[in-house]
Amino acid sequence: MTSFQNHIHSAMQAIANDAAAIAMRAYQRDQFEFLGVAAPARRAATMPLIKSFKPASAESLLAEAQGLWDFPQREYQYIAVDLLARHVKALTGADIPALLRLAQQKSWWDTVDGLVKVIGAIAKADKTQQSQMDAALLHPDFWIRRIAMLHQLGWKGGTDLIRLQHYARQLAPEGEFFIRKAIGWALREYAWHDPAAIRAFLLEMGDQLSPLSRREAAKHL
């Protein structure tokens, strides 16, 4: 355990709540252990440490994130995502494969969607890195395909609409709930910027999109 991880561990152990941990574990279908620390308390305890952390390199940052990921309690994975998000400017497209490998460990929507923001920020800063998302779209792990579908969230006018629509078409036949939800979410997000484009796309796709994807995409149209 590194010094940074030790400080994080001590801060979290001091505020662990066994009763809350039971409820949090149940909410996540008993897939993970919890300390019972809600997000506001977790961030209050750890964000000063995260802010003061100065990564010597992308490798050192990723190593600290992996070290936190290896702790059994779920909150440490959330802290790892917070750490990566805070220091995302230390990362480049060369680090996307490592982030995708992280996403495949203890995978569930909470950590995967946290890493979407980190990967999306890297890809937005260097649009040439979207080719890695093209490859991710074909990955055998559906969580990685979900990341590809969602990586342009919040890009607004910077969104590559052609790529967004291509991804939705490519994934439309899938029956996985988290993929269908991701399609709808990505389209709905872009609809805030260009509702006409999403209306036209939904009309074009018709029942090729699942009812869930269509419902989510059209929620605010």
Condensed to tens digits (0 to 9), the pLDDT of residues 129-184 reads 999 999 999 999 999 999 999 999 999 999 999 999 999 999 999 999 999 999 99
The arithmetic mean of pLDDT across residues 5-29, rounded, is 97
Examine residue 60 and state whether it is found in any structural domain, yes or no: yes
Residues 78 and 145 in one domain: no
The arithmetic mean of pLDDT across residues 98-118, rounded, is 98
Closest among 19, 18, 20, 71 to 46, alpha carbons compared: 71
Examine residue 160 and state whether it is found in any structural domain, yes or no: yes
Residues 62 and 136 in one domain: no
Instruction: Look up the CATH number of the domain holding residue 48.
Output: 1.25.10.90
Examine residue 30 and state whether it is found in any structural domain, yes or no: yes
Q: What is the pLDDT of residue 73?
A: 98
Examine residue 73 and state whether it is found in any structural domain, yes or no: yes
Distance of CA 206 to the CA centre of its chain: 28
Instruction: Kindly state the percentage of the chain with pLDDT values over 90.
Output: 99
* β-pair partners for 19: none
Give me the domain span that covers residue 156.
128-221
Residues 55 and 144 in one domain: no
What is the residue-wise DSSP string for 41-76?
Answer: HHHHHHHHHHHH---SSHHHHHHHHHHHHTSSBHHH
Residues 66 and 145 in one domain: no
Examine residue 101 and state whether it is found in any structural domain, yes or no: no
The arithmetic mean of pLDDT across residues 13-37, rounded, is 97
Residues 161 and 220 in one domain: yes
CB contact at 8 A, 95 and 122: yes
Q: What is the pLDDT of residue 80?
A: 98
Examine residue 61 and state whether it is found in any structural domain, yes or no: yes
As for how many domains the chain has, the answer is 2
Identify the domain boundary among 90, 117, 136: 90
Q: What is the pLDDT of residue 14?
A: 98
| pLDDT tens digits along 160-174 | 999 999 999 999 999
